[in-house]
Amino acid sequence: MPTGPLSNLLVLDFTRAVAGPFCTMLLADLGARVIKVEDPQGDEARNWGPPFVNDWSTYFLSINRNKESIVLDLKNPAHLATARKLAARANIAIENFRPGVAARLGIGYEALSAINPNLIYCSISGFGQTGLWSQRPGYDLIIQALSGFMHASAEPQGTPVKAAFPIADILTGLFAEQAILAALQVGKGQLIEVSLIDSLLAAMTPLATAYLNTGIEPRQMGRAQPNIVPYQVFRCADAYIAAGTPNNRQFERFAQALGHPEWPRDPRYATNPSRNANRAALIAEIEQVLSKLTAADALSALEAQEIPCAPVSTIGATLDNPALAQNIVDVGIRTIAHPARFSTSTPNYKHPPRLGEHTQSILTWLEETDGK
């Protein structure tokens, strides 16, 4: 059985795709027993690819470790009865059907809380359980577009930019996990609702707050940051680097590193507000210097002055770096470890389940523990 700080919890997981499975995987990493309920077709993410490894979708593998899989057709009364038996023993239930579907299937909050009043029930959706947009299909791509994320991430007057990973889904999974762990502290059952649009807007709070209080649309900054100068990606003679100076002391050292100690004494560049007002001129001067340096030489000069900086790496270069070896776990497939570290608990990683792999063992467990 799993070990970890949540090893006393049973999670009934009715989710599929990304946000819900990512949330339940994090709970499983911390020791919770997670029973993944799949219909006979299985989680659609099982078929997302390429790439595939030994017929496994790497996408599915990335967010479903440490779980057991049971196949239940919830439209079948006997299978629904099994789901309800599981709910009676669970501490947590999570679903991400379109609003209203879980209730119609007989596994909504009202139905399951009537069986288990202490159940913490989390509903994940695209646009919330109620409201004008609640019935819209809510996928990560759509949320990135509708939230303003794509527009704000573009270069000035450039093409909208999608994040390289499902950022709305992942953030929603994180917020759902946080809410569930908070609800556990209350000591009684309750309903939690988390949506993709709410989660991405919450994460975009610096941009959203600026607009809400000024009415000014955030600028499209692309590889730059709208509030701090310099703080962006720069092109060197042979490659890109990222570097930034969030305070004046760092800017002084930055200027020294690039051979221009006079920059901080220039009234145009003396403070961050003045650097923002004269962003174009300062960035042009910085780029002129960096265009004559290789990325390695530029990074060496900046690192010598303890300036925050890094090469713009590929994912492969990052994951092959020995400095990050502790972030990778091997359970028959190599994947990224849970980011938290505990002094007295250790995550217990297991291979993701095949569709229905644990159906019989779960049914046997229910029968053997019936009435206990």
Task: Kindly state the tokens that stand for 234.
Answer: 């720069």
Report CA dihedral (363, 365, 366, 371) to the nearest 10 degrees: 160
Catalytic residue among 140, 169, 320, 370: 169
- Residue 137 identity (one-letter amino acid): P
**Dist. CA 238–CA 5, nearest whole Å:** 48
Pairs from 54-59 (Cβ < 8 Å, separation ≥ 24): 56/333, 56/352, 58/333
**Dist. CA 46–CA 59, nearest whole Å:** 8
SS3 118: coil
Other residues' Cβ atoms within 10 Å of the Cβ of residue 61: 20
Confirm whether 330 is a catalytic residue.
no
- Residue 133 identity (one-letter amino acid): W
Task: Kindly state the tokens that stand for 111.
Answer: 């139905």
Residues assigned a catalytic role: 169
